[in-house]
Each structure stands twice: as structure tokens, then as C-alpha cells.
Amino acid sequence: MWTDLTYDAGFFAAGSTIEAVLWNQDFGYWLVGGDSIVKKYDGNTWTDISPSSRVFENKIDAIGCNSSFWLVGDRDGVFQKYDGSSWTDLTSDAGFYSNKKSIYAVEWGEAYNKFLIGGKDGYIKTFDGAIFSDESSGWDSKDDINTMEWSDSYSLWLVGGKNQKIKRFDGTTWTDETSAAGLDGRIMAISIELHG
């Protein structure tokens, strides 16, 4: 049975669309991003946790999480870390904002102990909790990174973008799967599941 949470969530009343939703078992709640707004939802209560010191400036498309903290990025390249109680601004270190690159996707890679972060014009980085490293060499500058998914079973990220591009990344090497996938149009969503 569906339960309508539209009015309880408060995004509609604020004139905000919802752009990203992510559940994390360790924290025990969802993080939901809209137009510069971040809320958490524990199944009963909605709480606005939007940062006050360094606000998000645009729609929040990217939310990622490991067992210790959340990473949240917006279309202007503002990038922040949330530990469950306070925010840390990573915008300058991440480099998306200064290079005028939107952030569209963030995904934690358990085996490599780092996040993969992707955005506009093939701009993509890893973040190990301390250092950002550029991994853009595997992508053309015309290929926006729209979506990514980590697989524990295969220890790799599958990454999709503009111009039908889909590639896998093992933490070191990009492998192009575009021809094998045979997809048409922009890749907007990916899910990896092991069968058998």
C-alpha cells in the first residue's frame, strides 16, 4: 500500500522538487535532497538538516553514504559532508564549483574505501575521506556523468553518462562497455544485482 508523504515532507510547500533520495542502514534514515534543501526521514519524522553556514545553491542531485558520513553535492558544484550532526564544507577541495561543474552522482566503493563522484563534462573524482583524486581521464569532456552504482560482488563501479556511454571502473582502470551494452540515449539510472 502506498502512503502519500508529499505534504508531511514539506518539499511541495517550499516549491522544491525532490532530486535525490538515499537510505543508509547504519544511520537508520533516508536523506532527501531538493532545491538547496536537505531533509532526513526516519520513517516517522521529517527534519530539515540543511546547512546554514555554507548553503547549497542549486538542486541536489547527488547523495552518497558509507557507515561514517554522507556526501551531498548540487548542480553548482557545492559539495559537503554530513556526519549525522554537523556539516563540513568540501566545496573548495572537491574542485567542482571552481571548475563550474555540476555534481550528478556519488557512490561509495566498499572494497577501495573511497567514493566516486561524477558530474558535468566527464568530470569525475575519487574521495577517500581526506584526498580528492582526479579520474576524469577515462571520459570525454562532452560526456556528463549521470549515474553510477557500486557492486560488492564484482568490486567495481558501473558508470553511465551522456551519449549512451557506460563504463566500469575498478578503482584504477576504466573499461568501456558502451558497445556491449547497446543502449540508446543518455544513461540516467543503473542498478547492479548478482543472480545465481
Alpha carbon distance 196, 192 (integer Å): 13
Written as nine digits, the cell of 98 is: 571552481
What single letter denotes the amino acid at residue 3? T
pLDDT of residue 188: 73
Is the pLDDT at 195 greater than 50? The verdict is: no
pLDDT 10s digits, 165-186: 889 999 999 998 888 877 766 6
How many Å separate Cα 182 from the centre of its chain?
A: 25
Among residues 133, 142, 136, 151, which one has the least CA distance to residue 190?
A: 151
With beta carbons less than 8 A apart as the criterion, state whether 25 and 42 touch.
Answer: no
pLDDT of residue 142: 87
Q: Assign 127 to helix, strand or coil.
A: strand
Alpha carbon distance 122, 99 (integer Å): 12
